[in-house]
Amino acid sequence: MKDLVSECPVENAMLVLGGRWRILLVYYLLEGTKRFSELRRDMPKISQRMLTLDLRALEEAGYVTRTIIPQVPVRVEYSLTEEGRRLKTLVEVLGECGDRLASRGYVKAA
Amino acid sequence: MKDLVSECPVENAMLVLGGRWRILLVYYLLEGTKRFSELRRDMPKISQRMLTLDLRALEEAGYVTRTIIPQVPVRVEYSLTEEGRRLKTLVEVLGECGDRLASRGYVKAA
């Protein structure tokens, strides 16, 4: 078990789910099980390295499972756990925030 | 107006609200108007520079207003706009995610 960083649940959630891509990954995995290459297609702007690291972090936090299908070439599939699927509300609320930002003409440059 | 980075509202929301401290800042500002020094006390781990940058980003996105009170020494107060107060649901949902992470014994090291 890792060290407790904060008593604040919001801070802890942001430590795990903050960052530019992680919740977006959850969003795409809510569509169903995906292979690494499919996630790359969903999110063309993320680097291969960041995608690997973010998937690993989500796996470590119990939100994502990684299944290796022994065939040639080996196939690796990612899907949400039950805990991961519970993040649907968060994804929806964030989507509403994004819609409101866009409707106010505010979109952040990268 | 900034360039549109993505058609995806979740991605746009995370570009503005992602990162370790911004939603936490909103959380503390939901308690009411605060001075810079009070926010520093609320979040002792954030650097003065990051706090300044994050407050500015939230101000730019229309979530926070900055009021300068002309006295000696000058007092600067931060409070949520109506749009900022609408983020309460997001803060609450994130808090629930953090509670669930903690209840599963998962807390992220910094």
Q: Would residue A110 count as lying in a domain? A: no
State the ipTM, two decimals: 0.85
> For residue A28, what are the domain limits?
9-103
Distance from CA of B27 to the nearest CA of A (A): 8
For A91-100, write each residue's pLDDT tens digit. Answer: 999 999 999 9
Q: Would residue A31 count as lying in a domain? A: yes
For A22-36, write each residue's pLDDT tens digit. Answer: 999 999 999 999 999
Q: Would residue A19 count as lying in a domain? A: yes
Q: Would residue A48 count as lying in a domain? A: yes
Q: Which pair of tokens denotes residue B30?
A: 């939901």
Question: Is residue A109 over pLDDT 70?
Answer: no
Packing angle, helices B22-29 and A9-17, rounded to 10:
160
Asked if the Cβ–Cβ distance from A98 to B12 is below 8 Å, we say: yes
Q: Would residue A108 count as lying in a domain? A: no
- In this prediction, residue B7 carries a pLDDT of 72
Q: Would residue A1 count as lying in a domain? A: no
Q: Would residue A109 count as lying in a domain? A: no
Q: How far apart are CA B85 and CA B48, in angstroms?
A: 24
Report yes or no: B67 and B77 within 8 Å, Cβ to Cβ.
yes
Asked if the Cβ–Cβ distance from A98 to B10 is below 8 Å, we say: yes
Nearest to B109 among A5, A62, A86 (CB): A5
Q: Would residue A4 count as lying in a domain? A: no
User: What CATH number is attached to the domain comprising B35?
Assistant: 1.10.10.10
| Percent of chain A whose predicted confidence (pLDDT) is above 70 | 91
Number of domains in chain B: 1
| CA nearest to B25, candidates B67, B78, B70 | B78
- In this prediction, residue B106 carries a pLDDT of 79
Asked if the Cβ–Cβ distance from B95 to A1 is below 8 Å, we say: no
